[in-house]
Amino acid sequence: MKWISHIALTGTIAYAATQDPLPAAAACVGAILPDKIEGTPGSVGWRTWRSRHRGWSHWPLLYLALLGALTHSAGYFFYDAAFFSVLTWLLIGALLHIAEDAVCGKVPLLTPSEKYGIRLFTVGSFREYLFVLACIAAVYVIRSLL
Ligand SMILES: [Zn+2]
């Protein structure tokens, strides 16, 4: 999925869940985090990028572990609700990125090297934007029913 699609869909989901622009903005940053960690063919070289592509940077257990560590650390360190909300939604945004990548290719699941997914559309195609639009509409419908 293109970054604009990741940001639009993830931001919509986060805002629908929280009704707060701060966690929604944090989720939008998280929505591009796995690809940012991975680098681009221009910045790391095509062979390095290809070998890293959707590897450990797209491994959901890594982000779930960080989310768990963050939740458990809340009582031990200083606690600021807004700060923890931003970090939590940053990680949730990254998890949503991985889920969104899983419908246009394969992403890791239990290990960084075993990949699963389906290809509903080609990245950057008209079908991608149609898919994202349908998902955003579904989020609005679900949110309006709650
Ligand atoms: Zn990605």
pLDDT for the residue numbered 97: 98
pLDDT for the residue numbered 114: 93
- Enumerate helices (H) and strands (E) in the chain, giving the number of each: 8, 2
How far, in Å, from the CA of 73 to the mean position of ligand 1? 28
CA distances from 27 to 41, 75, 114, 117, 121 (A): 25, 23, 26, 22, 24
pLDDT for the residue numbered 119: 95
Which residues sit with Cβ closer than 5 angstroms to ligand 1, an ion? 34-35, 101
How far, in Å, from the CA of 131 to the mean position of ligand 1? 16
How far, in Å, from the CA of 71 to the mean position of ligand 1? 25
User: Quick one: tokens of 21?
Assistant: 């622009």
pLDDT for the residue numbered 74: 74
pLDDT for the residue numbered 112: 92
Q: What is the mean pLDDT of each run of 10 residues along the chain (146 residues)?
A: 97 97 98 93 86 92 95 76 92 98 95 94 95 98 94
Residue 6 gets the label, from left (phi > 0), alpha (psi -120 to 50) or beta, of alpha
pLDDT for the residue numbered 81: 84
